[in-house]
Amino acid sequence: MITSFSYTNAQGETATRICNVVHESKTEIRGFDYNKLDQSEQETVNKVYGPKHKPTPVPTVKAAKMTEADYKELGISKDIFVKAYRIFKKSNMK
């Protein structure tokens, strides 16, 4: 699910964000901030989390550290995760 919203960060700066939502809870969304990705990287994320992807609950256990093989199996590189995977508090979204 791709969504657009206005977000105010901890420094009080407000910007429009476009996010491909991977996980969602009552208080936050987690996903890829498309403002941080170029067109090719966005297309890579869309292949894995396309229009039919419905956000899943936020994991309740701390995820194990992913290996290069895990990233390769998923189809999204570690570089893209580090560059754009973000957590947004719903209380800061408009």
Q: What is the pLDDT of residues 4-26, one digit of tens each?
A: 999 999 999 999 999 999 999 99
Model confidence pLDDT, tens digit, residues 46-85: 999 998 899 999 887 766 678 888 888 899 999 999 999 9
* Rg over CA atoms, the chain: 13
Measured CA to CA, the distance from residue 41 to residue 5 in angstroms comes to 20
Q: pTM of this prediction? A: 0.90
pLDDT at 63 (0 to 100)? 65
Q: Which domain holds residue 55?
A: 2-92
What proportion of the chain, given as a percentage, has pLDDT over 70? 96
- Name the β-bridge partners of 18: 4
Number of domains in the chain: 1
